[in-house]
Structure 1
Amino acid sequence: MFDSMLDEPFLAESFRVMWEGQDPFERLWQMPGTEYRRMPGRRTFRFEIDGCAYFAKLHAGEGWGPVLGDLLRLRKPVLGAATEYRALRMLEVLGIDTMRPVAFAERGLSPSARESFLVTEALEPTVSLETFCADWKALPPPLSIKRKLIRRVAEIARDLHEGGVNHRDFYLCHFLLRPETLEQESLVIHLIDLHRAQIRHRVPERWRIKDLSGLWFSACDIGLTRADLMRFVEIYSGRRPSVELRANAARWKKVWVKMARVRAREKRKIAAGIPR
């Protein structure tokens, strides 16, 4: 069932009992649920068991085409669910709220034919920061709420990068807020969609800049002020903005340039009627 594994399989007790003597790969491909993505070799869906909700991501071999395409672009190919599973475990070590895995396995040595799956507990009820902040420009939130959210997002970004992880899709839509914690001392925000994350001893500067510029791009139209941006810089860097912006002037200039470039490109797409 788990022959030719690259990473040790992980099954929470309830799933181990449920799949005893069965092939979990086949069970998941056939399991009914609410589908969010279905294409050859890929399936993402939500399902429930005994009143508990879960999300599953299934990967089958996609052939050598996508693998070689990434290699030709000097990108490390994303081969199934293992990348996200390792990232979730790393975020747990770093103390960053994320998805809780309950089942993971992969099999097959060939990158072109590798199968894998990842099942996580559903994060409900939550709302993405993209949705939560969408009306801020017209309807500014209470200052205390805005400051609390900026602080927590900056802390997540800091802890992620200092822990050697870069997200690669670091946008507000991938931060899920627990609304009931807004009035509590400890605000809970889950970082999700880590299927392209990279883990190293130290995050290379180019990838740190990509994450920061992506986050800024996704937040540039929600009405943030200069003071809000400086608050983020202060919490992320751990020192006064004036000191940080002098010490790392090149970094923050590159973040701004990359953000502005992506924003201009997206505006051109919108003007041309090209779907995002």
Structure 2
Amino acid sequence: MLRETGGIPHTSEIDSPRRLAELLDEHAYLADEGLATACFLALRMGRPLFLEGEAGVGKTELAKTLAAVLGAPLIRLQCYEGLDAAQALYDWDFARQILHLKAAEAAGITDAARLEGELYDRRFLIARPLLKALETQPSVLLVDEIDRGDDEFEAFLLEILSDYTISIPELGTIRAERPPVVVVTSNRTRDVHDALKRRCLYHWLEHPSFDREVSILMRRLPGCTAALAEQVARAAERLRAADLAKPPGIAETLDWAEALLTLGARDLDPGLAAATLGAVLKHREDQAVALRNGILGRA
């Protein structure tokens, strides 16, 4: 039974990987047994879930769907080179602080100690994703593409995920009353340190099997016929087997099928497939390989 929260389950009420898979399916995310089990264990054990795999296999989408299943806001931290603690954690709103000083000056307030105390009040603190996730219960924190961040940020993140506390010198320590559900993703553009992986439960996401990809296409694109879904999935399978710089993920397959449907296609016509190739392959050299080798023919 679900608690009376508009049908939204609490994590403790998701009693098996199968039940979690069913809930994800209700939100159009088809998880296989391995992924559903890893996700279930992360929820039950209160551990971050580290998802690694090629781009476009559904890592970020899982976090979004999990937030929908739990009825919790998704708080996303997009990693990039140069990301530091201030951008991920918190910052002070200097513009508002200056306005406050000017207002105090106009009001004739000259008590320096009082003004300093007021300047570092919580109302002037801008919560970035990590702080926001600790203060929001419940929440799902998505740390997206951790492999794009620096080693220093990795170490900082490990410290945060160890005890879910943040120390702000001017305000003290902020501790999460209920730790967020954490999903960390990596496209494996570089190796992530073992120390961070040890803190998490790990799962590698493969490209979906042919049957699962067909199911995903038909589930996510209601207008997609079984014939078109099978032909697109088979063509995507051949593209992944080719020597491409960036093989298509399920995200690109969905885009391709949607583009074909938008043009009124009911079958994977080679000419129409070639005309819409930019929806599935994003490198000119990869498109040339596909066209030269006849990969886009009818499945």
Higher RCO structure (Cα 8 Å, ≥6 apart): 2
Settle same-fold status: TM greater than 0.5: no
Of Structure 1 and Structure 2, the greater strand share is in 1
Of Structure 1 and Structure 2, the greater helix share is in 2
Task: Name which one, 1 or 2, has greater alpha-carbon Rg.
Answer: 2
